[in-house]
């Protein structure tokens, strides 16, 4: 019985029983589906929206091998079409609850499934500034990934927002490829490692201390940012072509918590080099595990997780 389109936990009807169920249809999930199916495992991919994840928001990608230049939407359409040759992708089917036991029970918005193993590829979302002018400007001057989009701003003025390791690393990367970089940090000291702070000073990168962005200025593309000093309240508009937001990521790790997976302080799932978690027969890959959040890294992780899953189903490592 279902209530308001949600599969009942008590339902005896199981829509499908699988060797492994992959939760999340981004690059990691699609890669895991391809490798799991080619290894002979019965599997499905459950995706709450459409396949692609955060890559869908990238207007132009130039660092994925095999594609000199391609939009995020086109790349993920190509990847999803490839995956569908092997594995069924259930679009618009959000996983609501997962239960362990002799077999895993996965309850979605429309069905109940069981499986011997699970691969979590639920991804993460960027923390946003939530300021005027930010919404809808991704790819038109606002970016959340310096290594993805920095090349487009070579020789231009850019602002990096944040004070942690990611923000300072992004600033140094952008500086190294020829951008004129300024850092905006809401505090009077960085939280980043000392060697990164020293390198920022060494390269003479401008820093706006005790400062926040109140508004991203521009119509068709970013032309500036309105800065406000938190100590004296003064504001001014700084001209810039790009705003790189590096204030953190929010991993989609609710299901990981339900399964009792080990996570770091930021909520990212801890995995070993084979993408195994601390719970037998549960694997994780892609942005939900933190690390290098790049498409190539997600694809690698998904493939490795699927192969580890195959190995463990044949000869469980935790029983050796």
Closest listed residue to residue 44, CA positions, set 5, 8, 95, 3: 95
* Residues 205-252: tens digit of each pLDDT: 999 999 999 999 999 999 999 999 999 999 999 999 999 999 988 899
Question: What is the residue-averaged pLDDT of the chain?
Answer: 92
Look at the block and give the residue holding tokens 């389109």. Answer: 5
Average of pLDDT values for 262-277?
A: 96
Read off the pLDDT of each residue in 155-168 and give the average, rounded to a whole number.
95
Let me know: does 208 contact 123? Beta carbons within 8 Å. Answer: no
- pLDDT greater than 80 at residue 318: no
pLDDT at position 59 is: 74
Which of the two residues, 213 and 100, has the higher pLDDT score? 213
14 alpha carbon, distance to own chain's centre: 31
Instruction: Report residue 6 as tokens.
Output: 């949600």
* pLDDT confidence band for 60 (50 / 70 / 90): confident
CA distance 45 to 76: 15
Active-site residue set: 145, 148-149
Tell me the per-residue pLDDT of 126-150, one tens digit each, with 9 for 90 and over: 889 999 999 989 889 999 989 889 9
Identify the band that residue 12 occupies on the pLDDT scale cut at 50, 70 and 90: low
Residue 299 has pLDDT above 50, yes or no: yes
Which pLDDT does position 62 carry in this prediction? 84
pLDDT mean over 78-89 = 97
User: Mind spelling out the 3-state secondary structure of the chain?
Assistant: CEECCEECCCCCCCCEEEEEEEECCCHHHHHHHHHHHHCCCCEEEEECCCCCHHHHHCCCECCECCECCECHHHHHHHHHHHHHCCCEEEECCCEEEEECCCCEEEEECCCEEEEEEEEECCCEEECCCCCECCCCCECCCEECCHHHHHHHHCCCEEEEECCCHHHHHHHHHHHHCCCEEEEECCCCCCCCCHHHHHHHHHCCCEEECCEEEEEEEECCCEEEEEEEECCCCCEEEEECCEEEECCCEEECCHHHHHCCCCECCCCCECCCCCCECCCCCEEECHHHHCCCCCHHHHHHHHHHHHHHHHHHHHCCHHHC
Is 1 a residue whose pLDDT tops 50? no
pLDDT at residue number 222: 97
C-beta of residue 234 within 8 angstroms of C-beta of residue 228: yes
């Amino acid at each position: 019985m279902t209530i308001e389109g949600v599969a009942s936990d008590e339902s005896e009807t199981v829509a499908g029983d699988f060797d492994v169920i992959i939760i999340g249809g981004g690059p990691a999930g699609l890669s895991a589906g391809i490798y799991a199916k080619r290894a002979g495992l019965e599997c499905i991919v459950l995706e709450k929206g459409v396949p692609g994840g955060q890559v869908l928001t990238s207007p132009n990608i130039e660092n994925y091998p095999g594609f000199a230049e391609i939009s995020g939407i086109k790349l993920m359409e190509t990847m999803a079409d490839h995956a569908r040759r092997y594995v069924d992708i259930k679009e618009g089917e959000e996983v609501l609850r997962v239960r362990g036991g002799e077999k895993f029970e996965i309850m979605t918005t429309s069905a109940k499934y069981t499986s011997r193993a699970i691969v979590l590829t639920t991804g993460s979302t960027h923390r946003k500034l939530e300021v005027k002018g930010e919404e809808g400007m991704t790819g038109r001057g606002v970016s959340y990934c310096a290594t993805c989009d920095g090349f487009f701003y070579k020789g231009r003025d850019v602002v990096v927002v944040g004070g942690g390791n990611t923000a300072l690393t992004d600033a140094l990367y952008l500086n190294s490829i020829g951008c004129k970089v300024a850092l905006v940090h809401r505090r009077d000291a960085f939280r980043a490692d000392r060697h990164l702070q020293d390198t920022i000073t060494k390269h003479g990168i401008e820093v706006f201390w005790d400062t926040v962005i109140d508004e991203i200025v521009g119509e068709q593309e970013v032309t500036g940012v309105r800065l406000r000093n938190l100590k004296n309240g003064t504001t001014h508009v700084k001209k810039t072509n790009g705003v790189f937001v590096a204030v953190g990521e929010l991993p989609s790790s609710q299901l990981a918590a339900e399964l009792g997976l080990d996570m770091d302080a930021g909520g990212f799932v801890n995995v070993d080099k084979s993408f195994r978690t601390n719970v037998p027969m549960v694997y994780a890959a892609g942005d939900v595990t933190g690390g290098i959040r790049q498409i190539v890294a997600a694809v690698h992780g998904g493939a490795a997780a699927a192969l580890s899953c195959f190995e463990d189903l044949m000869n469980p490592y935790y029983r050796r």
